[in-house]
Amino acid sequence: MTQKKISLLEALLPIGVLIVLLTLNVWYFDDTLAGSNQIALLLAATIGSIVAIRRGIEWETVSKKIVSTIGSAMPSMLILLLIGSLAGTWLISGVVPVMIYYGLDLIHPSIFLVTAVIVSAVISLATGSSWSTIATIGVALLGIGKALGFNDAIVAGAIISGAYFGDKLSPLSDTTNLAPAMAGTDLFTHIRYMIYTTVPSIVISLIIFLVIGLNMDFNTTQINIATTKEVIGASFNTSPVLFLVPVILLVIIVKKVPPIPSLMIGTLLGGLFAIIFQPHIIQDVAASAGSYAKSSYVAVMQALFGDVNLHTSDATVNELLSTSGMRGMLDTIWLILSAMVFGGVMEAGGLLLRITEPIIKYAKSTGGLVFSTATTCAFFNTTASDQYISIVVPGRMFKEAYKKQNLKPEVLSRTLEDSGTVTSVLIPWNTCGATQSRVLGVATIDYLPYCFFNIISPIMTVLFAVLKIKIRKIKG
């Protein structure tokens, strides 16, 4: 069947429908992740399918693309399930409570946000994974922030800013390897060149977080800290030995063990330490009068797949001591599946490329080209809902345009990371945004204004290009 050329308006139609539906969802539903956003994505995908079929593309082609797009997101969904189970066993084992317990003594309230950024950055740089960092140390930092009286959204913004800084510069990160591969440069040239824009971005972010911290009122903080420590100490065995679990996991990740087996090992270690160190928690979760072996099995299984709500004498602390296991991740996985369907339809129908054609056409200057690349990366994060697609597709699209302007490939690779990797977490239905929102328990739209590093990075890369700072040219 002959494929017809579609107009820009037709290509934009599914996106327009999606925007309208998502806006209505925000107005009419309290929890848009519970299903309304998923249906919005599927309805928009339906419109996209109609446009694609009218263009002359067979449904079989569209459906195959949908399946392959979902397949590309499958590792992320498996990781998300394991993060849910890890949160469960790390709670009943006392790992997260112990990190909060000792963290309250070590971190001064006024510099807590700065500390959260730096700690998250260091762990993410060492592991190459923002997801693992946020799911482990990030959850503990969020608990510390609550005890200190900080708004959850601000703390989440600090954690995400640090985690994505480390992920962006780590040679172990998949996106840090992917961007230079797409642009045609080597890994360490790419990392060294990224430092020019990444360091100013994180410095500005740290200054903002420091100003916020220094202007907070901590009159009741000492009471909160004392109460939280007292309640955690009374509820858990707070032995420092429990720190072995996160340390072992970090070592495993640094040794380049893939994320899925790494998280599974961390999850099982949490269950084992719960059985050894927290017998009273095991009995409480199992709610069983049977043998300890039976209670251990029931409690660990419950932590892996379902709700765990530990009750103490303090309602605020109770908020820190609850997880939903794998079951708590199912809405997010449903959202990712729906987003992948939409992204697959838009890509199979050629609608994404049609929308980005004018952007490349009018990008004549270096500043215009970098701005166009950054905008396209953010566009693909919004429409294709996957950070890898936001790096791969723009990388392919703009590679020749950079060559024509005699720009070295690291200029493209840096722009892809500054714009594709870091903005993914700002989109509620993107795999990254959906995951971090669920893991931290903070809505994407709430933490977005405080992800200063993620917001500043694409602006910084465009600013450097417009001002022609450190823009490498091919010597001819």
DSSP state, 3?
P
For the stretch 238-253, pLDDT in tens is 999 999 998 998 888 7
Which one has a higher pLDDT value, 361 or 173? 173
DSSP-assigned beta bridge partners for residue 407: 473
For the stretch 381-391, pLDDT in tens is 888 777 888 88
For the chain, give every domain's residue range.
8-74+329-466, 75-328
For the stretch 85-137, pLDDT in tens is 988 999 999 998 998 888 887 778 889 999 999 999 988 987 788 888 898 88
- Return d(Cα 100, Cα 224) in angstroms, integer: 12
**Burial state string for 186-220 with b = 16 or more CB within 10 A and e = fewer than 16:** eeebbbebbeebbeebbeebbebbeebbeebebee
Query: Helix 431-440 and helix 330-348: axis angle, to 10°?
Result: 170
For the stretch 421-442, pLDDT in tens is 899 999 998 889 988 998 999 9
| Range with top average pLDDT, 191-195, 203-207, 367-371, 463-467 | 203-207
For the stretch 65-88, pLDDT in tens is 999 988 878 887 888 898 889 889
Whether the Cβ atoms of residue 415 and residue 401 lie closer than 8 Å to each other: no
Does an H or E element contain 322, and which?
Answer: strand 322-323
- Return d(Cα 82, Cα 144) in angstroms, integer: 23
Rounded-to-10 torsion of CA 62, 67, 68, 74: 150
Q: What is the pLDDT of residue 268?
A: 95
- Return d(Cα 342, Cα 367) in angstroms, integer: 31
CB-based contacts of 428: which residues, under 8 Å, 6+ apart? 32, 33, 37, 434, 437, 443, 444, 445
